[in-house]
Amino acid sequence: MKNTVIFIIAIIVAGTSGFGLHKYIHEQQAVNNPAIGTQRPEFAAMDANDQLRDISEWDGKLIFLNFWATWCPPCLKEIPDFIELQKTYGDQGFQIVGIAIDNKESVKEYIKESGMNYPTMLVEVEGIDLAKRYGNDIGGLPYTAVINRKGEISSTFTGELNKKHAEKILKAHGINL
């Protein structure tokens, strides 16, 4: 009985510590990220349909530029929410753009299986440098840069971005929920 209580307390402390660390990293990144407030970097890359896409295609829209990979469990966890967000709010000038740091075959297979309804560019290992240009200095995945309608990076998030948090961002940028 005594060991069980100690074990339960240890789990609670570990869970609370992990949550606190996760929250601290997000807050520090938001405060200290020099990319916030800057004009989004230009780039172009091939998409899953072998078409060259340029980030400027979505100028004037609110963009979630999401860096992800098929081998990243938190990335895969947030994608169904992104599919739903794109379907629900896309007609209001909101666009999710995936940046896959992964191999083409795995990404194409995942896009087909998941029913992704937003464009995904395939950047493989070069995506690490691109993510850094968008403020991801720690190299974590998933990573989302929010680009406002003026083309400025307004916020960034390392780790899973859930639907509830994403909708707060959308509302703050004038999307009607």
- For the chain, the DSSP string reads -HHHHHHHHHHHHHHHHHHHHHHHHHHHHHHH-TTTTSBPPP-EEEBTTS-EEEGGGGTTSEEEEEEE-TT-HHHHHHHHHHHHHHHHHGGGTEEEEEEE-S-HHHHHHHHHHHT--S-EEE-TTHHHHHHHHTT-TT--SSEEEEE-TTSBEEEEEES---HHHHHHHHHHTT---
For the chain of 177 residues, list the mean pLDDT of each consecutive stretch of 10.
54 50 45 90 96 98 98 98 98 98 96 97 92 95 98 97 97 97
Tell me what pLDDT residue 57 has: 98
Tell me what pLDDT residue 3 has: 59
pTM score:
0.83
